[in-house]
Amino acid sequence: MVRVDQTLDARNLICPMPVIRTQERVAMLDTGQILEVHCTDPGAIVDIPAWCRVHGHKVLIAETHGDESIVRLEVCD
């Protein structure tokens, strides 16, 4: 079973809101915690992992299922 510490529902939000909401939630988490983001904006599957690379967080999963994308990330220092 995959450990997820928090889930963020960013469905029905358009760019740049999924990334902004991800950034806000990550700021509330501790190093090592896992955040799973659910979104429907097609750009989020690229934008959230790009934001993670810039800020040093680890992307564990970035995949799309139908109209919904899931990005799971680990918060790093």
**Does the annotation count 76 as an active-site position?**
no
Which is it for the CA torsion 42, 23, 3, 59, positive or negative? positive
Q: Using CA atoms of 5, 19, 14, 8 in order, give the dihedral in degrees to the nearest 10.
A: 10
Out of 15, 39, 52, 76, pick the active-site residue.
15
Is 43:27 a contact under the CB 8 Å cutoff? no
Residues tagged active-site: 15
